[in-house]
Chains A and B, each alone.
Chain A
Amino acid sequence: GAVVSQHPSWVICKSGTSVKIECRSLDFQATTMFWYRQFPKQSLMLMATSNEGSKATYEQGVEKDKFLINHASLTLSTLTVTSAHPEDSSFYICSAPQARQGGYEQYFGPGTRLTVT
C-alpha cells in the first residue's frame, strides 16, 4: 500500500511560537491532502483540504490564519500552527488519497503530537 509520512512525530513548543508539520506521500503523488485533528479518545476532525497549486479549503470553525496550509508539490503539504497556545495541543494527522477500483483510498500519516507549554 501507499505510504504517507509526517515530520516531526512529536513536538513541544512554547506558547506564542509557530510550529510547522510536514506531510509527504512517499510513493505516489497527491494533488489533495487532508489535515485532521484528534483529541484524546475522540475521533478525527477534518480541519482542511490541502490543494496543490491553490488555496486550502478550511472546514467551518477552523481559523485559516492560525492554521496555515501550503501544498508546495505533489508530494508535500505543510501545516503551520501560528502563535500556538496550549489549547492547540493535539494530535495532528494528514492523509492523502490514492485512486483504486471504485474510487479513492485514503492513506494516513503516523500523526504529529503537538504539546504547547
Chain B
Amino acid sequence: QKEVEQDPGPLSVPEGAIVSLNCTYSNSAFQYFMWYRQYSRKGPELLMYTYSSGNKEDGRFTAQVDKSSKYISLFIRDSQPSDSATYLCAMRELTGGGNKLTFGTGTQLKVEL
C-alpha cells in the first residue's frame, strides 16, 4: 500500500463547476499537507499549505484536512479552463525526514468550456 493514495483521474468538469480533489494517507506522522498545481512540462506550483485539521480558504481554493480519517481535500470553486492541470497532494512529517515530501500520484483535471 502506498503511503499516499490519490485518484489519477482524468477528471473532466464544465466551467464553473465545483471541483473536489482528494488524497488519503496511511502514515500518522504526516503533519503538514500541501497541494501543488502542475501544468504540463512545468514544475509544481504551491497552492495551499496547511498543518492543522479543518479548512483553509484562499480565493477560489479551499483545503480541508481531517487527520482523524487521514484524508485531505482540495476544493476549487467556479472552476476555469485555466485550472486545467495536474493537482498533486504532498505531505511531510513534523520532525525527521529532513523536510522530505511524499507526493500522491496527482489528479489530472480538465475544465471544459
* Chain A contacts to B: CB under 8 angstroms: 1, 4, 6, 32, 34, 41-44, 46, 49, 57, 91, 93, 95, 97, 100, 102-111, 113
Q: A105-B46, A105-B49, A111-B41 are in contact. Are A34 and B100 (CB under 8 A)?
A: yes
A110 touches B32 (CB 8 A): no
A-B contact count (CB 8 A): 61
Q: How far is the CA of A44 from the CA of B101 in the complex (A)?
A: 10
Minimum-distance CB pairs A-B, first 10: A108-B43, A102-B51, A43-B105, A110-B43, A111-B43, A108-B44, A43-B103, A97-B99, A104-B99, A44-B103
A110 touches B42 (CB 8 A): yes
Q: A91-B41, A104-B99, A111-B41 are in contact. Are A43 and B104 (CB under 8 A)?
A: yes
Residues of B within 8 A of A95 (CB): 101
A107 touches B46 (CB 8 A): yes
* Chain B contacts to A: CB under 8 angstroms: 8, 32, 34, 36, 41-46, 49, 51, 88, 90, 92, 94, 98-101, 103-106, 108
B34 touches A106 (CB 8 A): yes
Residues of A within 8 A of B99 (CB): 32, 34, 97, 103-104, 106
Q: How far is the CA of A34 from the CA of B101 in the complex (A)?
A: 9
Q: How far is the CA of A104 from the CA of B92 in the complex (A)?
A: 10
Chain A residues touching B, majority SS: strand
Q: How far is the CA of A102 from the CA of B104 in the complex (A)?
A: 22
Residues of B within 8 A of A34 (CB): 99-101
Q: How far is the CA of A102 from the CA of B36 in the complex (A)?
A: 18
B106 touches A43 (CB 8 A): yes
Residues of A within 8 A of B90 (CB): 106
B98 touches A32 (CB 8 A): yes
Q: A43-B105, A46-B100, A91-B41 are in contact. Are A103 and B51 (CB under 8 A)?
A: yes
A111 touches B98 (CB 8 A): no
Q: Would you give 9 A-B contacts (Cβ < 8 Å), ordered by A?
A: A1-B46, A34-B99, A34-B101, A42-B106, A102-B51, A103-B92, A106-B99, A106-B101, A111-B42
Residues of A within 8 A of B8 (CB): 41
